[in-house]
Amino acid sequence: MADKDVSVIIVSWNGKDLLRKCLQSVYSSQGVSLEVLVVDNNSTDGTVEMIREDFPEVKLISNRDNKGFSYANNQALSKATGKYLFILNPDTVIERNTINKLSVFLMKNSSIGIAGPKITYEGGNLQYSCKSRFPNLRDAWFSQSLVMRFSPKKEVSDSMNMVVWDHAVVKEVAWVMGAAMFIRREVYDQIGGFDERFFMYFEDVDLCQRAKKRGWQVIYYPETVVTHFEGQSSAKIGSQKGVAAMQSAIRYYRKQSYLWGLIVWLMYLSTSLIYGLLLLVRGSQEAKETRDYNLNLFKRALTGWWNL
């Protein structure tokens, strides 16, 4: 039997100041009993010490190395006691009623397995946090750096991001972002946690896809808002962010079918090499950095297929 209404699960890595703001907003929540679990992936900025000093009530898991977002979330999920499980990024701030509203919404709608609140950027602009469908090969093609630079992709991205749809309306969607994902415990009990083959990126897509295959609804719920200071933790890993995104994309498509995975791998292999070679003749610092980035993607794609 669950001990708390909600288990809030946060994975941190070198984002002490943002995490402090996130935890302050979580502990300002009203109307629910909650526990907070933070998994720290070997931060070096004093994050662990800050949690122990300022938030002693947090159930802290301090890892000696960084095995990724999915692995760390699963560590906390295995220890969580809540009826509902709230996956939350450390670079977010929630409203006082966010957790209560999401809890009541799922309690009143037993067919809903996962819900995502409205997410905005720091300045208040909407972040397209819910998607109309799952990624396909066309999306993979338009995500390539070379293709994005020389081909229009607005129609494809607008369709998937539901740009023309009113984001003030509750709606069933294909998937919601893992930056703020509210999960019914029964979903976790049925399908398990995140697929740990995804170090970061695509783990939220995969989880929602598995839930929908088991008959659960995934809902965008804009009655409460989460502010997202997007990417301020992942930005610290620089070019490795692109490598992680590439590896997760290939893993995701390979999980759909071996052929899809092979096609996407060849896309990354070819476009990163071509783009990198095209930039060899340009001497600017920006061109050099972009060239090195793409050639690094090529090398990682070339050697990485067998490990995916």
pLDDT tens digits, residue range 79-94?
A: 999 999 999 999 999 9
Mean pLDDT, to the nearest integer, of 238-254? 84
253 touches 137 (CB < 8 A): yes
pLDDT category at 271 given cuts 50, 70, 90 is confident
- pLDDT at res. 224: 97
Q: Over pLDDT 90: what percentage of the chain?
A: 68
Q: Which amino acid is at 6?
A: V
Give pTM, 2 decimals. Answer: 0.89
> Within its chain, how far is the Cα of 219 from the centroid?
16
| Predicted confidence (pLDDT) at residue 124 exceeds the cutoff of 80 | yes
pLDDT category at 307 given cuts 50, 70, 90 is low
- Dihedral in degrees, nearest 10, Cα atoms 85, 86, 90, 93: -150
Q: What class is the 6-132+173-234 domain? A: alpha beta
- pLDDT at res. 1: 43
Q: Which amino acid is at 135?
A: P
More confident residue, 297 or 96: 96
Distance CA 270, CA 302 (A): 10
Mean pLDDT, to the nearest integer, of 265-286? 74
* Helix ranges restricted to H, 83-129: 98-108
Distance CA 226, CA 97 (A): 11
Task: Convert the pLDDT of each residue in 50-104 to its tens digit.
Answer: 999 999 999 999 999 999 999 999 999 999 999 999 999 999 999 999 999 999 9
Mean pLDDT, to the nearest integer, of 152-174? 77
pLDDT category at 236 given cuts 50, 70, 90 is low
Q: What ranges do the domains of the chain cover?
A: 6-132+173-234, 238-307
More confident residue, 138 or 272: 138
More confident residue, 188 or 303: 188
> Within its chain, how far is the Cα of 61 from the centroid?
20
Query: 252-264 burial, b for 16+ CB within 10 Å, e for fewer?
Result: bbbbbeeebbebb
